[in-house]
């Protein structure tokens, strides 16, 4: 009887966890009439895997992607030893390309021909101990097979950086591989500004970044878009420049996917407020969406990673994937009048 009571207690805790996590949220995501033709994405680690997945699934409505220490499309299912190969081994870009063709044939993703029109930014630090450079090489191969022109594909792979976003504003030492997974690195004698590099590559020459923000990031309710089995947090974050709230502003939208152990639950405002995207977005008419995934027990996601191996369902890499569909719905809200 005692063992039974213990099992029942543990089961009750597991089943109640998502409900507790969903109790705190924010305001409704606003309909801002943003420009649906200028949507882009970027991410680190599991967020970089997610950025590639979203990019492939919704390539018709995505104009560019930034991939920092991630892996190629559907990597864990098309390579032997799955997750290990996709972090520490040499996955096949060709296998990912073939997977994309297969899902295209099934009508589960947009036609992959759209990707050739995109701007692609890739970054892999030489001191990254979490995702080896051979994995990012496969991402490069994948996009080359998709016929992204050389002029549209940037691959930075010579900086002595650890597993992190690179910020000009704050962070650990360049070759660090620890929380908050934001580092400062010098490139060409100056601190490297990765948000500027990503946004500038995708949208073209940027106006100087804001010295003082015209607004502040706000929490919004994610539960409208995804249920507890998605592992998504109750609240995400949104930065809307003051100029983007006016009628007819038609601002761009950029989605930033945090990495494992890097949601606000784990690192506070390090990504959604301090990384550096907001300052550039403020003066360049870009709305920045920071969706959040938290550590969870049901489904099993102890490190708060975006799903790139199937914990939220086997269709995680397609348009019907729980997380991908939720993010797309958020973007559609922002681009609605």
Structure tokens at 61: 């409505």
Return the pLDDT at 15.
30
Q: Which of 35, 55, 110, 163 is catalytic?
A: 163
CB 41 within 8 A of CB 66: yes
277 vs 271: CA distance, rounded Å: 9
| Tokens found for residue 260 | 């494992």
Structure tokens at 76: 């864990």
- Please report the pLDDT score of residue 209 as a whole number: 98
163 annotated active-site: yes
Q: Which of 35, 55, 110, 128 is catalytic?
A: 128
Strand 190-191 relative to strand 218-221: parallel, antiparallel, unpaired?
Answer: unpaired
Question: Which pLDDT tens digits describe the chain residue by residue (337 residues)?
Answer: 333 333 233 333 333 333 233 335 789 999 999 999 999 999 999 999 999 999 999 999 999 999 999 999 999 999 999 999 999 999 999 999 999 999 999 999 999 999 999 999 999 999 999 999 999 999 999 999 999 999 999 999 999 999 999 999 999 999 999 999 999 999 999 999 999 999 999 999 999 999 999 999 999 999 999 988 899 999 999 999 999 998 889 999 999 999 999 999 999 999 999 999 999 999 999 999 999 999 999 899 999 999 999 999 999 999 999 999 999 999 999 999 8
Q: Give the active site residue among 35, 40, 42, 45.
A: 45
pLDDT at 24: 52
45 carries an active-site annotation: yes
Look at residue 20 in the predicted model and tell me its pLDDT.
30
Catalytic residue list contains 128: yes
How far apart CA 269 and CA 217 sit, in angstroms, is 9
Closest CA to 306 of 76, 105, 132, 79: 76
């Amino acid at each position: 009887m005692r063992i039974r009571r213990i099992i029942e207690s543990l089961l009750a805790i597991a089943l109640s966890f998502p409900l507790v996590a969903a109790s705190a949220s924010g305001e409704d995501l606003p309909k801002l009439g943003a420009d649906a033709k200028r949507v882009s994405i970027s991410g680190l680690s599991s967020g970089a895997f997610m950025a590639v997945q979203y990019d492939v699934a919704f390539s018709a409505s995505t104009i560019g992607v930034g991939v920092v220490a991630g892996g190629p499309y559907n990597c864990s299912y098309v390579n032997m030893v799955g997750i290990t190969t996709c972090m520490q081994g040499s996955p096949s870009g060709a296998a990912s390309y073939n997977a994309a063709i297969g899902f295209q044939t099934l009508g589960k993703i947009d036609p992959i021909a759209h990707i050739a029109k995109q701007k692609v930014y890739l970054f892999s630090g030489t001191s990254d101990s979490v995702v080896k450079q051979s994995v990012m090489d496969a991402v490069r191969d994948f996009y080359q097979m998709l016929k992204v022109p050389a002029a549209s594909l940037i691959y930075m792979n010579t900086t002595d950086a650890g597993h992190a976003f690179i910020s000009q504003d704050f962070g650990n030492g360049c070759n660090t591989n620890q929380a908050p997974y934001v580092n400062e690195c010098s490139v060409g004698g100056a601190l490297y500004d990765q948000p500027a590099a990503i946004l500038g590559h995708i949208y073209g020459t940027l106006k100087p970044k804001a010295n003082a923000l015209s607004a502040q990031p706000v929490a919004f309710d994610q539960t409208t878009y995804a249920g507890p089995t998605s592992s998504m947090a109750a609240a995400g974050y949104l930065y809307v420049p003051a100029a983007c709230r006016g009628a007819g502003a038609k601002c761009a939208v950029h989605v930033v996917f945090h990495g494992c152990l890097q949601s606000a639950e784990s690192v506070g405002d390090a990504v959604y407020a301090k990384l550096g995207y907001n300052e550039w977005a403020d003066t360049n008419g870009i709305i920045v969406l920071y969706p959040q995934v938290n550590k969870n027990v049901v489904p099993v996601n102890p490190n708060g990673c975006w799903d790139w191996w199937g914990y939220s369902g086997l269709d995680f890499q397609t348009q019907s994937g729980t997380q991908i569909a939720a993010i797309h719905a958020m973007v559609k809200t922002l681009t609605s009048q």
